[in-house]
Amino acid sequence: MTSAQWVDRLAADRSLLERTSTVERVTDLLRQRIIQGELPPGTQLSEVSAKDALGVSRNTLREAFRLLGHERLLVHEMHKGVSVRKPTSADVTDLYRLRRIIEVGAVRNAATTKTDLVQAVARAVRAGEQASEDGDWGEVGTANMRFHEALVGLADSPRINDAMAGLLAELRLAFHVMSTDDQGELDPRRTRGFYESYVERNRAIADKVAEGELESAAADLEGYLADAESHLIEAYTARG
């Protein structure tokens, strides 16, 4: 995504800030753009362009940048400014360690089988299946993020949901290596190669959740995460 494109997207978000231009809201908007894959690793974030696009003060934006830095999503380098962080293979290992604790634990110990929470899992799966049929593999990636977010939502815990929000953004940055070639250019075939098998596995897990087979769904998720971690580590190793 070019500088002009991400600035335009932020400008489109400006209406969401009309009633509240708090640091928290700006932080959430930027985090969501990362989760949606619209701010890939290495993207330079111009302070002037971003604050003008969102219609917020410089101090508000700087505080949002600072908070996202603490979440390991942005980095500030002297004389270079703020950019979206580039994860490492060590980050991948740590992220998946946390995923097992949060995601598998949330499914295995789901505090509720509320219809709306189970339906959120099903909706995310259907969105991924539709995007797959349409050949929109970037959108498949976004739907995949929503699927895992919905799985964690089964725990019905605002605190766990908050923890997952930051984790999802870091994961999307880590997944970027599976969507680009060795020159860093987007490669739809590579994106498809990574996500395609997981569309079916998402469906299988969602069906078990719908049937109340939470222990079996959690076991499937453990294997799923192990495979995904292995694929990512291989990709990071190949890139050096």
Predicted confidence (pLDDT) at residue 185 exceeds the cutoff of 70: yes
pLDDT above 80 (res 219): yes
Q: Mean pLDDT lowest for which of 7-11, 51-55, 108-112, 186-190?
A: 7-11
Higher pLDDT, 239 or 172: 172
With the CA atoms of 34, 38, 39 and 43 taken in that order, what torsion angle do they form, in degrees rounded to the nearest 10? 170
Strand 44-45 versus strand 74-77 pairing type: unpaired
| pTM confidence score | 0.82
Q: What is the pLDDT of residue 78?
A: 87
Domains of the chain: 3-84 (1.10.10.10), 89-239 (1.20.120.530)
Measuring CA to CA, how many Å separate 214 from each of 7, 10, 53, 158, 238? Answer: 42, 39, 44, 20, 36
Q: What is the pLDDT of residue 159?
A: 93
Structure tokens at 45: 């974030």
Residue 1: pLDDT band with limits 50, 70, 90: low
